Amino acid sequence: MAFQKKHLYLNVLATAVSAAEKAGEIIRQVMSSGNLEIVLKGVNDPQTAADRSAQVTITSILSKRFPKLKIIAEEGDDIGKLDANIPDCIPSELVLKEKCPQNLTGLNEEDIVVWVDPLDGTNEFTKGLVEHVTVLIGLAVNGEAVGGVIHQPYCNSEKDNKSSHTGRSIWGTRGGNIGGLKVEVPPSDNLVLATTRSHSNELVETTIKAIGASQVLRVGGAGHKVILLLEGKAHCYVFPTPGCKRWDTCAPEAVLEAAGGILTDIFGKKYSYSNDTDYLNNDGVLAALDPKIHKRCLDILNLTNKT
């Protein structure tokens, strides 16, 4: 399907939002069926039928509309075989109404690398902690995270809340706008830190202690942690060890930056999202909505690393 070059980026992002919502429907269906079909990829690293089906849906929808996109997805090429029978979806009208930043006009499909985590927070999903689950689709240009969508299949897990059945999509473009939620600034009196729920170790605990947070939120999923930053429920997201991958952070980084925040490794460096980069985020993650808080945590981490 041909698009004018100046509209290509917004069309890809708008389609990604709709594809993420389709994936969210699949995730809810699999959970409702009670048959997760869990396979262990490694220690504490499960994969479910929802991961597999959601990935095929996302990659098929994007590839059908934009066949020259480079798509890198968590579950690999063997899982992500394209399915020609998956129906096309209508790109999000809300995204298409946005003004595209000048630096993202005139792109070709080959210029965009798409990083997909079809189900971020699988460990939590298998334990029924569905509010931790997100679908992540990040867009990168010239190795930089420029846009993305974080979709929550279960925005609110209370049974009497309709949003738990429809989910919500939070999307954004660096240098542009953020949509899907109202960004809230957290209170400044106490520092609230978000970190891993299931992958802690001595370094993580030492770092948390050094930062001196008043409250520590141990939750699953990179997408969920960044949402806590955007909602004003946490000041910083700290994970000072290898573990997460580029598909975990591309979309959250872009969406957070659209809101004025920052996501880096624990040394303050940006990760590359080029298609030939290493997938592993070897130097952890440090993120905050307020760049001053990011700098404060970074300074503490630098001192900790020197001792």
pLDDT tens digits along 217-256? 999 999 999 999 999 999 999 999 888 999 999 999 999 9
Residue 120, annotated ligand binder? yes
SS3 142: coil
What positions carry a catalytic annotation? 51, 122
Q: CATH 3.30.540.10: which residues of the chain? A: 5-179
Q: Are 218 and 195 in contact (CB under 8 A)?
A: yes
In sequence order, which ranges of 105-194 are alpha helices (DSSP H)? 122-126, 163-166
DSSP code for 219: E
More confident of the two residues 258 and 242 = 258
> Residues 29, 33, 36, 37: is their CA dihedral positive or negative?
negative
Residue 83, annotated ligand binder? no
CATH number for the domain formed by residue range(s) 192-306: 3.40.190.80
CATH architecture, range 5-179: 2-Layer Sandwich (3.30)
SS3 73: strand
Residue 144, annotated ligand binder? no
Non-local CB neighbours of 213 within 8 Å, separated by 6+ positions = 191, 192, 193, 235, 236
Q: What is the pLDDT of residue 1?
A: 52
More confident of the two residues 4 and 61 = 61
Residue 88, annotated ligand binder? no
pLDDT tens digits along 38-91? 777 666 667 788 888 999 999 999 999 999 999 999 877 655 566 767 777 899
Residue 98, annotated ligand binder? no
Closest CA to 17 of 110, 135, 132: 135
